[in-house]
Structure formats: structure tokens, C-alpha cells
Amino acid sequence: MRNPHSNGNLPGKTTEENGFGDGVILGLDGGATSTVCVCVPFYPFGDRLPEPLPILGRAVAGCTNCNSVGETTARDSLEQVISEALVGSGSDKSDVRGVCLGVSGVNHPSDQEKIENWIRDMFPSHVKVYVQNDAIVALASGTMGKLHGCVLIAGTGCIAYGFDEAGKEARASGGGPILGDWGSGYGISAQALTAVIRAHDGRGPPTMLTSTILKALGLSSPDELIGWTYADPSWARIAALVPQVVACAEAGDEISDKILVDAAEDLALSVKAVVQRLGLCGKDGKASFPVVMVGGVLNANRKWDIGKEVSNRISQYFPGAQTIIPKVEPAVGAALLAMNFLTSYQENHQVT
């Protein structure tokens, strides 16, 4: 997607046509292991956006979560990924109108402010900078930037997050393992490990999960699972067992099937809670609204399809719910969100 032309224009297009006349937008996705930056042309958000959105430049760098890698590394990686995406697009910092970064775990306002300030320092003062929760960016990636509807993320963790037309927000789940996110990849895997231990010590029925999980982990007895879980309590390591649970359920293991059904039920319940609190389904319960579904648990595309199971349950609750699997990556969602914010800002400043 890189544009090698030195004038920064897309091949065969004038500056006006490819949007450079209105400048560019940077969208960033700060994940747990890497950071993606895309550079797209700025379009006023109210206009019909071209599909697919042209990606002028794209770059990938390491993790930019300062809690994980330290401030210096995080800041350097941010600087690098932004610079590479701009070079790739053939534009430079003076073309940038707005930047939006989506990050997980921005729970402390001070963290958010720190990262916002780093990015602000990299650009001229008129550039608008937004740092947002990754759930909001994920919603935007499914709604082409519009903050309306509900997003359900189920990867290592899970969360449901939504906005009504007036901008009111609500969330459900997303508290982590201690607070019972049973629909998450971690939750599904922890239930599976528990089922193996219960079968082993006589509290529960035998399950195919025993041989499947022990084989996947290279262990010879369920007793060794205790040491395995204590050795490294990282949630992602536990959550990586979801494919084994799905494989067992597909092979007819009843325990695995029940774990996945319960997870789907819990995920659908999170969406239901958000939709009801925001009244997204309207007074008659039939209004149309988007439900964006994101993450490895929902989009694994297996025969036993957790996403489909969740989606069916949501449709039973709300016949007007439109489930959407985003066609663009989260970094593009961040760019779309920046266009939305920037357009609102301009409109407000024209009105006043």
C-alpha cells in the first residue's frame, strides 16, 4: 500500500483528488505486542467515504505501552512508527490534520494524558490529537467511524462498550479474570483447565480436554497443570488454549460444548446489558443498531463458531441488531475516529 511517488500523490491522481489538499490523518493501534500506524487522506466525516478507504502509508513498530516496555522505548517506537507511515505515504508532518491512537488499558487519565502529550510534541500545535480506549476504536472500525451502537471484544479479555446517538456511553464486563469475565479467551481456557483438574481428582466427569490440553502443553499428568499455571500467570498464555477447547467441542466433548455455550451466553448478556442501558433497541425493542464483533474468540471462523452463537443470541434479544465483523484493521478505525472528531470540531468552531 506504500506510495513510492515523491510528490506524495496516488498514481494518476491530482493532489485534490487523493485528498492531500485536505491533508492526511494518522490512525494508530497500540496493541499488547506491536503498534500499527496508517496514514489516510482526510475526508470531512459527513461525506460518503470511499470504500475501501485508500491507505497512503502503513508501518509497524514494537509495543508502545509504557507500563510494559518503559517510557523511553514506548516513546521511541511511537515516533518511529509515525515517521515510517508518513514517509511511506509520501507526506510529512505538515500535512497531518489529526492523529488518533487506540490503546488497551488506558484506565488512568494520567497515562492517557502522558501519551497524548508525547504525540502533541511531535507535531505542530494545530494538529488534533486523540487517545482512546481500544474498545471505542474497535467500534469505529466496524461503523466507519460513527460512534453509535455496541462493540463486543473477546480476545484474551472481553468487554462490551456502546454509545447512543446522543453520545451517552455504557460498558459491561472488561474487569479481568478476578471479576468474572467468563466469555473471554482467558475465561474459556480457565474453565477448561478447571474441568481437567475436576475430572482428575474425581469431582467432575471425564473429558477429552484432558488429553488434548496436556498434549498441547507437553505435560504428562493433570497434576503438572498446577505448576504450569503458577509458573507464569500471564492471561494471554492461558487464553491461548481456546483452540483446544473448540476442537474438543467440535469432536463432541460435552464438557467443552457447555463451556463454549456458557461463554457465548455470557458475551451476549454483556451486549444485552449495554443495549438496554442505552436504549439502543428503541422502546419497542426492535430498532436497528450495529453490534461490532472483534477478537479471536469471536472471529476464529471454526465449525463450532462462538461468534455465530453469540450473534444468534443477540438477534433473539434484539431483532434489529446488525452484527458486523469489521473489514478494516483497528488502526484504520482510529483514523476514521479522528476524521469524525475533527469534523465535529470544525463544525462546532464554524457555528460559534
Binding site for its own copies (CB under 8 A): 107-108, 170-180, 190-191, 193-194, 197-198, 201-203, 225-227, 229-230, 233, 238, 269-270, 272-274, 276-277
Pairing state between β 24-30 and 34-41? antiparallel
As measured in angstroms, the least distance from the Cβ of 155 to its own copies is 17
As measured in angstroms, the least distance from the Cβ of 229 to its own copies is 5
As measured in angstroms, the least distance from the Cβ of 175 to its own copies is 5
Identify which of residues 32 and 197 has a Cβ nearer to its own copies in the complex.
Answer: 197
Identify which of residues 108 and 215 has a Cβ nearer to its own copies in the complex.
Answer: 108
Residue 35 and residue 100 in contact, taking contact as beta carbons nearer than 8 Å: no
As measured in angstroms, the least distance from the Cβ of 193 to its own copies is 6
As measured in angstroms, the least distance from the Cβ of 117 to its own copies is 22
As measured in angstroms, the least distance from the Cβ of 195 to its own copies is 8
Identify which of residues 172 and 293 has a Cβ nearer to its own copies in the complex.
Answer: 172
Q: Which three cell numbers stand for residue 241?
A: 488454549
Identify which of residues 241 and 249 has a Cβ nearer to its own copies in the complex.
Answer: 241
Residue 263 and residue 307 in contact, taking contact as beta carbons nearer than 8 Å: no
Identify which of residues 271 and 331 has a Cβ nearer to its own copies in the complex.
Answer: 271
Residue 78 and residue 119 in contact, taking contact as beta carbons nearer than 8 Å: yes
Residue in 266, 268, 330 with CA at minimum distance from that of residue 132? 330
Q: Distances from the Cα of 109 to the Cαs of 113, 115, 121, 122, in angstroms?
A: 6, 10, 18, 20
Residue in 290, 320, 332 with CA at minimum distance from that of residue 162? 290
CA dihedral of 342, 20, 139, 65, whole degrees rounded to 10: -90
Q: Distances from the Cα of 124 to the Cαs of 93, 120, 156, 236, in angstroms?
A: 8, 7, 37, 38
Identify which of residues 194 and 346 has a Cβ nearer to its own copies in the complex.
Answer: 194
Residue 101 and residue 66 in contact, taking contact as beta carbons nearer than 8 Å: no
Identify which of residues 65 and 343 has a Cβ nearer to its own copies in the complex.
Answer: 65
Identify which of residues 8 and 183 has a Cβ nearer to its own copies in the complex.
Answer: 183
Residue 297 and residue 158 in contact, taking contact as beta carbons nearer than 8 Å: yes
Task: Classify residue 125 by burial, with Cβ atoms within 10 Å: 0-12, 13-18, 19+.
Answer: exposed
As measured in angstroms, the least distance from the Cβ of 254 to its own copies is 18
As measured in angstroms, the least distance from the Cβ of 214 to its own copies is 14
| CA–CA gap between residue 265 and residue 323 (Å, rounded) | 16
